[in-house]
Amino acid sequence: MINIFIIDDSMFIRNILIKILKDKDDIKIIGEAANPVDAMSMFKKTGIPDVFILDLEMPKMDGLTFLKKLQEERPTPTIIFASLPHDKSTKAIEALELGAFDIVVKPKELNKINDNTFINHFVKKIKASVNMKNINYKKEVRSSVISNHNDSNKIIAIGASTGGVQTLENILSQLKPSHPPIFITQHMPEGFTTSFANRLNKICINSNVREVTKSELIKNGDIFIAPGNMHLEIEKLINNKFQTVLKDYPKVSNHKPSVDVLFKSFAKEVKKRSLAFILTGMGRDGALGIKMIRDSGGETYGQDEETSIVYGMPKVAFKLDGIDKQVSINEVIDIINNIK
C-alpha cells in the first residue's frame, strides 16, 4: 500500500485527486492540506507518507520552501502537481533540481482530471516514485575513464526522463569548451522546456544551450533541447553539414518529444559518427532507437543502475542489446570530455 499526502491550496483540486485515487487498491490517501504549514501539523497523527503530491503556489509556505525542508530532514518522493508555467517561470524546474520525482501538469480544463488517460498516467508516476533513489552526485569520486574516440566529428544524442533534470545539469555543467554538438530529448511537458534550457544555459559556461525553435546548423559547443510537445530530429544536408529539425506529429513510444524519434534520426543521418547516451527514466522510450544507432555503427552507452534515479529506460535498452557499455554519470562526463 502506498500512502499519499496531498498539499494544494485548492480544495477543489484536493477533492478531485482524492476522488480519482481513493478507489485504487494499492493507494491510500492518509491526509490532505491547503499548505505545507497545516500539513506539518498533521504529520504526528498521519505519519510521513510514502509520496507527497505537492502544489508550488500556496499561502503560508510555498512548495519549493517545503521541498527544501523535506529534502534536508527526510527525503520523500514528491510529485509536483503544477499549472502550466507563467512566462519565464522556473519554479517547477527548481523543484526537479531539488529532487522532486516528476511534474504532472494540471489540465487546463479541470474536468479532464477525470479522464482515464490522465488518471493512468498519474497513478503510474505515483507507483514509480516509491522506488526512486536520492543521489547526491557531488559525493561521487570522479573516474578516469578514457574514451576510444580518435576523431572530432562525433555528434552526441542524449535521452532522459524522470530524474533527468538533476542528471543532465550535473553532466552538462562539467563539459569542456568546444565539445561536440549535443541533442537532448528530456521528457518534459510543453511550457517547461524553455525554463529548463535557460537554466542550463546559465550554469553551463562552456556551452550554448537553447530550446530548439527552428531549423539551424549545428556547431561545437551547441546543446539543443527538444521543446515540449514537439519531436526533435537531426538532418544531414547535401554539403555534409547537419541541422536541427522539429517535427509535429503524434506521440511516439507514448511521448512527445520522444527519445526514439531523436535516436532513430541519428541512426539514419549520423550513423557511425553518433555517440548516444540513454539516461535515467521510466518506461522504454529510446531503447529501440539506441539499438538502431548501435546497429548503424554508432557508439552507445546506458546509465548504470547505481547512479540512475530511475533505472527504467537504460535497463530496457541494455536488455535489447542496444548498449555498448553501462556507465556512471561521471563516466559520461569523462567520455564526452575525452573526445579528441
Q: How many residues does the chain have?
A: 340
Domain ranges for the chain, please list them: 2-129, 137-337
Active site residues: 161, 187, 285
Cβ neighbours, 10 Å, residue 59: 11
Query: Which CATH fold would you assign to the domain 137-337?
Result: Rossmann fold (3.40.50)
Which of 69-83, 284-298, 325-339 is the least confident region?
A: 69-83
For 241-277, the DSSP string reads -EEEEEE--S-BTTBSS-HHHHHHHHHHHTGGGEEEE
Looking at the predicted structure, is the pLDDT value of residue 52 above 70?
Answer: yes
| pLDDT (tens digit per residue) in 151-179 | 469 999 999 999 999 999 999 999 999 99
- Spatial distance between the Cα atoms of 265 and 296, rounded to a whole number of angstroms: 11
For 82-125, the DSSP string reads EPPPPTT--HHHHHHHTT--EEEEPPSSGGGGG-HHHHHHHHHH
pLDDT at 25: 83
Summarize the confidence of residues 322-336 as an average pLDDT: 97
- High-pLDDT (> 90) share of the chain, %: 76
Q: What angle do CA 149, 153, 158 make, to 5 degrees?
A: 80
pLDDT at 145: 44
Looking at the predicted structure, is the pLDDT value of residue 87 above 80?
Answer: no
| CATH 3.40.50.2300, applies to 2-129 | yes
Summarize the confidence of residues 229-246 as an average pLDDT: 96
With beta carbons less than 8 A apart as the criterion, state whether 57 and 89 touch.
Answer: no
Summarize the confidence of residues 49-69 as an average pLDDT: 94
| pLDDT (tens digit per residue) in 199-231 | 999 999 999 999 999 999 999 999 999 999 999
